[in-house]
A and B are shown apart, each in its own frame.
Chain A
């Protein structure tokens, strides 16, 4: 029996590992290789130019702008989404009228959960078209329509959400938060429900109030989930390609007006497919790759806590 183990292992692993290596790992490695060339992307002809792409990158204003926008997204997307999701999860699970158990969710929490989660299952293309209509720059757009109706905005002078350099990035951020909150709400709810009730009852007996229970009992026990949520959201913040490229103005993959919503992914794609600077795009890819890697490790290190078993 021992002898038949290895053929079996190899037989089971060869297809998945092969496919993965060919279509995932090898392209990543190639990205690394091409980053040292001046490859244009159209033919397979290129020269090796060493670190020139990298040095150009650091003096590239658009790249720096894009990087800064990604940093903004990296800070605000996780913070806002996690806080909102925690808040709603708290209301759903503990916010109800005090019953016999002391801690109950509000009525209809199942309904809220279903509704809140729904945007998560919508395709990003649907989100893009949907928000194109919502952010329309005249009063026919939903957002402007609502604001006009509430009297907060002049009908003849509507806000041009996606054309306003100061607003465009926040509009994109709002979409990401809007569609993400439900997912993390469900994630945190599930984690909250897995906390045994006796812990709450012990806290109650000791005279803890709702707020105290939340911050001293629930939060520490949810730490693992919050950490995971942070990493997921950070990865989402590094991407944002589909929304930015389809919603914002600009030649080839959006990013406008005047680079005010440019993110790394759109700038990379423009260099790669539109400007004929594929080698340069690859160098950008490598930098992003390392940033993501460092970021994930730092996040996991900084937020590490002693795990609480229950």
Chain B
């Protein structure tokens, strides 16, 4: 394979400044065909799907600038006045506070998930003791079943703890339901780390706890980042849990709705029927943070989401 020393690094490696492949006449194709037909064909299909993904999203953003009459009229109506007041209206209807609630919950739930998940995963991955395998499978089994199967008793459990419609209740539930995947992922990650560093630390008289926090955890940074992003997206998207656990318990109870739930309630409410643009504006506001996070971390997000499923 000596003729291919100039080939680009990896096929389709994202962001790699792909040097224009040498396409001399003789080198044109090593497959039977030149690939030109396939290339047009590929771009065709990919572009169609890309439009199918982008069109509805752009359409929603545009719709927030339309009037009610336009939204009810034709899908192709073009907004006339580009006023930002609609975003203000949406914010006032609660989008702002929904965002705040979501952030409060997630700061704690994601941190706790990562801490507890990696502690359990570390012990299960690195220490031999009776019941080790049993505990591990117990955790992994939890990832297999849909959440709604446990919903009935869970509701009463949280109720008995007096934690319905409280942040701490939702945080604990989020943590508990994120543990299976976190443990599963971090377990395999800790297994791949070299043992030598850990042994050296132990010989130097480091305690087990300190070895974990100061040696192993920093070494597992990449894994933590991946599974952390996975948990952020997963908890951000939760719908059925907050819907059940975060309903107002009495008239005077504070509204602690998180974003998904709040948005859905707004969509279902009669009051919003008269103000579709505000609903679309609310959606736009809700999409922007995800879009920003996603675009700035897209490689980690993609790596994080897929790494868990690769060996």
Point out residues on A near B: beta carbons under 8 Å. Answer: 1, 4-6, 8-9, 11-13, 15-17, 19-20, 22-28, 30-31, 34, 41, 44, 84, 87-88, 91-106, 109-110, 112-126, 128-134, 138-142, 144-146, 149, 178, 181-183, 186-187, 189-194, 197-198, 201, 204, 209-210, 224-225, 228-229, 232, 235, 238-239, 241-242, 246, 265, 268-269, 272, 278, 281-282, 285, 288-289, 292-293, 296
Contacts and interface: CB of A to CB of B under 8 A. Distances in A.
Instruction: Name the residue in B10, B57, B151 with the highest tally of chain A Cβ atoms < 10 Å from its Cβ.
Output: B151
B53 A119 contact: yes
Contacts of B233: 120-121
A125 to B, nearest CB: 4
Contacts of A30: 152-153, 157
Nearest to B182: A16
A189 B175 CA distance: 31
Interface in B223-240: 233, 236-237, 239-240
B259 A123 contact: yes
Contacts of B71: 140
A119 to B, nearest CB: 6
Given A99-B8, A204-B31, A31 B149 contact: yes
A131 B60 CA distance: 10
Contacts of A104: 8, 11-12, 21
Contact of B144 (A106, A132, A191, A296): A296
B50 A112 contact: yes
Interface stretch (B32-40, B189-197, B248-256): B32-40
B122 interface: yes
B283 A129 contact: yes
The 6 closest A-B pairs by CB, nearest first: A145-B75, A105-B12, A99-B21, A30-B153, A95-B42, A23-B176
Contacts of A193: 10-13
Contacts of B45: 87-88, 91
Nearest to A41: B152
B251 to A, nearest CB: 19
Contacts of A197: 7, 10-11
Interface in B161-216: 172-173, 175-177, 179-180, 183, 202, 207-209, 212
Contacts of B100: none
B21 A129 contact: no
B152 A285 contact: yes
A167 B30 CA distance: 47
B111 interface: no
14 contacts: A13-B135, A16-B117, A30-B157, A92-B12, A97-B21, A113-B302, A125-B261, A126-B263, A138-B72, A139-B74, A186-B306, A197-B11, A289-B145, A293-B144
A114 B298 contact: yes
A144 to B, nearest CB: 7
A288 B309 contact: no
Contacts, number: 340
Nearest to B98: A125
A1 B291 CA distance: 50
Contacts of A120: 233, 305
Contact of A145 (B36, B57, B76): B76
Given A16-B119, A31-B153, 12 more contacts: A1-B202, A20-B142, A22-B157, A27-B150, A98-B28, A110-B14, A123-B260, A126-B287, A131-B56, A142-B75, A204-B31, A289-B145
A140 B172 CA distance: 43
A116 B298 contact: no
Interface string B1-41: 10110111011111100000111000111111111101101
Nearest to B45: A91
A106 B45 CA distance: 12
Interface residues of B, number: 118
Contacts of B65: none
Nearest to A15: B116
Contacts of B303: 190
A25 B172 contact: no
A87 B157 CA distance: 46
Nearest to A238: B146
A87 B48 CA distance: 13
Contacts of B290: 121-123
B124 to A, nearest CB: 8
B149 A17 contact: no
Contacts of B39: 95-97, 106
Contacts of A268: 148-149
B14 A134 contact: no
Interface in B257-311: 259-261, 263-264, 267-268, 279-280, 283, 286-287, 290-291, 293-295, 298, 301-303, 305-306, 309-311
A20 B7 contact: no
B222 interface: no
B137 interface: no
Contact of B74 (A110, A140, A187): A140
A189 B118 CA distance: 28
A24 B152 contact: no
Contact of A12 (B120, B142, B298): B120
B82 interface: no
A241 B148 contact: yes
Contacts of B119: 12-13, 15-16
B157 A23 contact: yes
Contact of A88 (B46, B73, B123, B286): B46
Contacts of A265: 146, 148
A125 B75 contact: no
A259 B49 CA distance: 31
B4 A101 contact: yes
